[in-house]
Structure 1
Amino acid sequence: MFNNKKGIIMNTIKKYFVHAFALVIVAGVISSCTSMDEGYKDFIKDGEVSYTGKIDSLHIYSGKNRVQIKGLFISDPKIAECRIYWDNRADSVVVPIARTQGVDELNVVINNLVENVHNFEVRTFDKLGNKSIPVYKVGTVYGDRYQTSLYNRPIASKYFSPKLTTINFASMDLSTGAYATEVTYTTTANVTAKVQLPIAQSRLDIADFKLGSAFTYKTLFRPNPTSIDVFESVTTTVTDNEIQYLNNFYYPFTRLTYDGARWGVPTDWVVNDAAKSHIVSSVNYGGLDALYFSFESGWGQPAINNGKIYQTMTLPAGTYTYTININATSYAADANDKGYFVVAIGNTLPDVALVETAASTLKWERAKNVTPLIRTLSFTLSADTQVSVGVVTTSAVMTSSTGRHLKINSFKLVKQ
């Protein structure tokens, strides 16, 4: 019985202990909540923090001592202004914003910046002064330092002929930002014209250039593809524009017709039937081998008998030089070939057999494989005269594995 009483007493003690422990825990929780609540009230005693929507899709575009800043206002209709800071808030600009129901754009240009890399910070504000979280972006400003590093694109060669003026430019370092060359010239109608040649192209053809006039050119640059400003090199004036009286006179010669593989007929040249000695699919070709000026007989090709290729023009009085730049030739000036470079009065060239004695011949020289492979013929006209300039040839077929060829890089007919 004593043991039963002892058990009852122990159970009663445990019950009171559990209740007391529970009361302690509840008191602790209440105390803790009270402390947290008091801390929260301290934190928001001046009201909850409110942020405006930040700028979206921020972009900064380089320029000459300036930048253009663009972005979008998408999420917050309460935005009333945008503030742009740069260089650790050393300077800033405030842009008023009139929000609409849709997406609005920030588009502002900041001028008078020094040439450098600048760090920009952009925040939005509402009418109560609440601000957004910052958006940071880096922008590059270009100026005199970049400008002085620019140079004009060199000219590799230039040709001025009655039908076409051609200016060939040299290549450039594209990392400079060069994107075009702009040429200003006088047309045949005495009007000033401008044309731009993309930097990836080297050849500029002008059909209405006034012969004997000067032209200017400059190279245009963008320091990066999205730059809002164009930089220019110094302008170069070109005055030594020697008139070339021939058309289509240098490699690569342009073609009037082409067999699709090798042989062709050049534009701007008179090519007689005898010079069209290459027959492909019942069509005759002659005057061009690939894009070189050419005569060829033998090696499976027929003989050429009195072939003529020439141009005719009226030249003013004066002294002229006719220059032929030969690429390669097997002409030996013997019985197997009679090739001539000829200048003659009139609208055609004399036959091969008459070149050396014809009254119309002003100047001639035999074509032969003798270095240097440049031939120059000089002649003088006392009055305006119609002349023909070109090449005539008769060449035999020697064997099936041999022959004669004359390949020419360029011609030049200029007044001294």
Structure 2
Amino acid sequence: MKNLAYLLSSLFIFTALCVGCTEEGVNPPSVVGELNAFPGKYRAKVEFQAPAESVTGKVFHGSGNFQEFTIDKAETTQTITVENLPEGEITLRVVTLNSKGETSDPKGVVVTIYGDNYQKGLMNRKLLNQRTLSPTSIEMFFDDNISEEIGVRILFTNTSGVSDSVMMPLGNQSIVINNIDLGKAYYFCTVFKPTSDFIDEFTAPHIDAKEAAMKNFEKDIWTIAGVSGEDPAAAAKNIIDNEVETVWHTQQGTMPHWIIVDMQSEKKFDGFHFVQAQEPGTTGYARRFTFEISSDNKNWTVISEDRFKANSHKQTFKFKESVVSRYFKISVLDNHNPTTSTQIAEIDLFNDLNVSGTNGVSLPVLINGKQPFQGDGSDLFPLVGAGRFQKLTGWTHSSNAYISFDSNVGTFCVWSAAVWGAPLVTNGKIYQTLDILPGSFVLDIDAAHTTSPDCVDMYGVIAHGTVMPDHNRVISTPEVLGFSDLVANQKSVNSIPFTIEKATRITIGVVYNTHDIFGATGIPWSDMNINGFELLMK
């Protein structure tokens, strides 16, 4: 009987122990439900549904790293922000614990974390233009949006002196900013989210929009703030109307004549483009000038004193350094003609980013006009070296102007060697045709050398029209505007002045003959080399 009682007692204790062990082994929290992770900047937001028995938990990442959290029983969905995560793709594993410290099985989710590597590749949307609407209001215009951008933020100080900002939404290309203190710096930056569920934002580097505004000229709102005088039929406003055919023309009077332009706000610029009258007439061209700047239209600083060329092509004057001003003033001290009135067609300012207008026609530049000249790749006389003698690119050649380029030295070179089979040239012509405006010009031809003055005759020529004169008519034909004997003036720069009265087409080049000097000197070739051509305003 005692043995039976002992057996029953032992069985009861064992059963109780087994039941207790079974309860501890089967009742840890279940895995979390509906687990999601949202990327951020070196962090992630994790959302999940926690089992009812859970009271705390951990989010693991990497090699044993974890962040602890407490279950919010008032919320169905738990939200945890995990900080200090490395950039790149990672797996987050979530476990929860009950009040006894028993742990659920982990559940994982993959998320991509963003950081400095992403930041480095960001660029701002391009600011195209800014318009001043009032002393406290501007409109900013931007280029098309960039991939992964969500908008552009403008940061400024408002008229109450408080830091402020506005956001231009994705899809918009302009925004009006009101109540802005334009006397203080303001900035813009493009805002990015690499994914639609990104919990943070990235911004491209802040751009000083005030300086950008100062470099944006808004010429259409410029006004004339003062003028020494004007002809009613040629008003002062014509100098800023983007029409080179109109002019500001003064009445006869004591020089200097001056004009003041108000740009409505301070602008930063490096110099100016200037266009003289396209038809100078009896008044002619302005000559000596001063350029001054002011912030108040009262106190003036002279920035440049120089001389305009007597020419209708656009002229450019660059300052020693950038300047900032609201007003600028040009004073014409005298003219190229002895007259007491003056005229100007147009003026534009420029800086490293913008130009206020694209008015006027620049002086044309001769194609392939200087050393090192470029040949056409031909091989016209391989006897003296493969590919050595070629034709110049960009120049028109008469049919007998066989060779014009020596690749050995990179010069403009006419060459013959009749005794070797390279024929002599009579009345050869090599030239370019240009469209040119009225004015005074000079053509510089840097004549190099010839083997012998007896082996070639060559003129450098400027002529009206599209045809070069024959060699024997250069001196006498009225179409020739200017010429120089390049052989007689070899090893020097031949400066050939000429004047154009009306817009026309001219032809610039050389006409030449080569002669055989083999019998007299034993030299088989005849040649003439030129280092360069340059057309200049005078």
TM-score, L = length of structure 1: 0.46
Larger RCO of the pair (alpha carbons < 8 Å, separation 6+)? 1
TM-score, L = length of structure 2: 0.37
Radius of gyration: which is bigger?
1
